[in-house]
Amino acid sequence: MKGLMIKDLRLLGQQKKLGIIYVVMALFLSLSMDNSFLVSYLPMIGVLLVFSTISYDEYDNGMPFLMTMPLSGKIYAVEKYLLSFIGIAVSWTVALVLQIGSMMIKKEEFDALHLIGTDAVSIVVFLLVVSLMIPIELKFGAEKGRLMIFAIFAVVAVIVMAGMKAVNFVKDRLGIDVEALAEKIKNTPMALLAVICFGITAVLLAISMAISTGIMKKKEY
Amino acid sequence: MIAIKDLKKSYKGFDLDVSLDIAEGTVTGLIGKNGAGKSTTIKAILGLIRPDGGDISVMGKKPGEFSGTDREALGVALSDSGFSMLLNIEDIIHIMRAMYKDFDETTFRQRCTEQSLPFDKPLKEFSSGMKAKLKVLAAISHKAKLLVLDEPTAGLDVLARNDILDMLRAYMEEDPARSILISSHISSDLEGLCDDIYMIDKGRIILHEDTDTILGQYGVLKMSEDEYKSMDKQYIIADRKDSMSVTCLTSEKQFYLENYPNVVVENSSIDEMIVLILGGK
């Protein structure tokens, strides 16, 4: 695991110039416009950089040799999740610092705790992206995987539309008051909602990890 | 060290069915044309593919059941796969140090310097000879018990090939209990290195012989068609008929030297053996 992590960090180190450009760009944008985009922009870059390590592993048919080293398919998959967590944590923290910095420069008032709470939503979103993307990239390869994601977004869009129709159906036919339910969720304490959200995300991540290790076990090179 | 019995793997238009044994302390060559099944056999030994049938035991375990520690005892160089081309040797040293507890950094650095490999250049800037040398140097850098090398000399000039063969000889001299399985389609490389040779063709082992026997007892006979017709053919393994003459491969050149003084008897090289066995008739 340590060796894999060093390999990936060294590969990512090659992109440090690009990373600095992204951060500087983010800094300028945050000064000139609303800075709330930072917590979605930088973690997105972070996650994409981590996914690029899967492309690097596959590039020049590197996987067969990699899998002859002292590691298993399971360790390979778990390391990608771990790297993603690190990527999200680092990029999110940088985003938060930049956001607070730009607010201080612009002399805007802010409540730090509230800001962290709001920004934490993007952590959940990117953990969900990771739990969806890693199994797809491992199964179909980095390039095909990215094409697959478009297909999945299309399916998700269809599901959302169907879901909205289903809500209307439930509302009309079964007499369940959806608005009241939404209101109830709105009134649930923030902390409880956060625990529920992170709990669901953790379960989805565990399922995703199990799928990824299964994919790696079955893979031939 | 390696025992393979009736290993089967099928792809579209290709069926592999091989058995072979590699003893501790030996260097075994696997030779054959491109697409003969060398790489598939090696991938099965390394656990990179799952066999459709048969048994493989590598260092007493099935490749699919290898733990990380088991894999540390394996040194591998593959012709078509290696470290990312974006890494440099310094990066590789850091990775190897974390991957293999027996990684001998000092010797690895020293050998890389001897071979004039730059430490700070990405591998994409290396020549094919430099890349091939690095693969072998990495494979022998962590005191592996078994080296599995798939075409380590492919596409290299004779000097680079000799350098690699010298590295492998030195590796064997360090510890006689080590073993090497090396595949190549440049069989002359293997003559001075291997204890025994397996020849593979169309997914089947068609010959297994000690290298000394091939070089000492095997021979190439050249004669007219009439001489060939009247000749005792019990030690003839393969023949090739040209317009004017017949060339044969024999496993007992002494027999023909003594009994057929008019027949030209030459020493056999593995390359000639391949040409006659795989390209004969």
What is d(CA A142, CA A59) in angstroms, rounded to the nearest whole number? 9
Domain residues of chain B, as ranges?
2-213, 217-279
ipTM: 0.86
Vertex B210, ends B207 and B216: CA angle to 5°? 110
The mean pLDDT of A120-144, rounded to a whole number, is 88
Element spanning B14, H or E: strand B14-22
pLDDT digits (tens, 9 = 90+) for B266-275: 888 888 888 8
Tell me what pLDDT residue B183 has.
Answer: 92
Tell me what pLDDT residue B186 has.
Answer: 76
Tell me what pLDDT residue A197 has.
Answer: 84
Instruction: Find the chain A residues whose C-beta atoms sit closer than 8 A to any C-beta of B.
Output: 2-3, 5-7, 10-11, 14, 56-57, 59-72, 75, 220-221
pLDDT digits (tens, 9 = 90+) for B202-230: 899 988 999 888 888 899 998 888 888 88
Beta partners for A180? none
B86 min Cα distance to partner chain A (Å): 7
Residue B281 has pLDDT above 60, yes or no: no
Query: Nearest Cβ partner of A59 from B67, B84, B94?
Result: B84
Mutant choice from B42, B81, B136 vs A, greatest count of A C-beta within 10 A: B81
Tokens read off for A71 = 């590691």
In this complex, do A220 and B49 lie within 8 Å of one another by their Cβ atoms? yes
CB B187 within 8 A of CB B32: no
The mean pLDDT of B258-266, rounded to a whole number, is 88
Tell me what pLDDT residue B65 has.
Answer: 85
Helix, coil or strand: residue B184: strand
Tell me what pLDDT residue A204 has.
Answer: 94
Tell me what pLDDT residue A79 has.
Answer: 95
User: pLDDT category, A174, cuts 50, 70, 90?
Assistant: low
Q: Which residue has the higher pLDDT, A79 or A178?
A: A79
**A202 φ/ψ sector (left φ>0, alpha ψ -120 to 50, else beta):** alpha
Query: Nearest Cβ partner of A56 from B74, B76, B84?
Result: B84
Mutant choice from B99, B105, B151 vs A, greatest count of A C-beta within 10 A: B99
**Helix boundaries (H) for B116-266:** 128-139, 158-174, 188-191, 211-216, 225-230, 253-259
In this complex, do A60 and B82 lie within 8 Å of one another by their Cβ atoms? yes
In this complex, do B71 and A68 lie within 8 Å of one another by their Cβ atoms? yes
Determine the residue of chain A that is closest to B98 in CA distance.
A3
Residue B80 has pLDDT above 70, yes or no: yes
Residue B246 has pLDDT above 60, yes or no: yes
Residues in chain A closer than 8 A to B76 (CB atoms): 65, 68
Vertex A34, ends A32 and A36: CA angle to 5°? 130
pLDDT digits (tens, 9 = 90+) for B96-150: 999 999 999 999 999 999 989 999 999 999 998 899 999 999 999 999 999 999 9
DSSP conformation letters of A149-184:
HHHHHHHHHHHHHHHHHHHHHIIIII---HHHHHHH
CA-CA-CA-CA dihedral for A49, A212, B78, B53, to nearest 10: -170
Residue B280 has pLDDT above 60, yes or no: no
Query: Nearest Cβ partner of A10 from B49, B76, B94?
Result: B94
In this complex, do B82 and A67 lie within 8 Å of one another by their Cβ atoms? no
Residues in chain B closer than 8 A to A71 (CB atoms): 68, 71, 99
Residue B60 has pLDDT above 80, yes or no: yes
> What CATH number matches the domain at B2-213, 3.40.50.300, 3.30.1340.30, 3.90.1150.10, 3.30.710.10?
3.40.50.300
Residue A174: Cβ-neighbour burial (10 angstroms; 0-12, 13-18, 19+): exposed
What is d(CA B151, CA B205) in angstroms, rounded to the nearest whole number? 18
pLDDT digits (tens, 9 = 90+) for B166-194: 889 989 998 989 999 999 877 777 888 89
User: pLDDT category, A39, cuts 50, 70, 90?
Assistant: confident
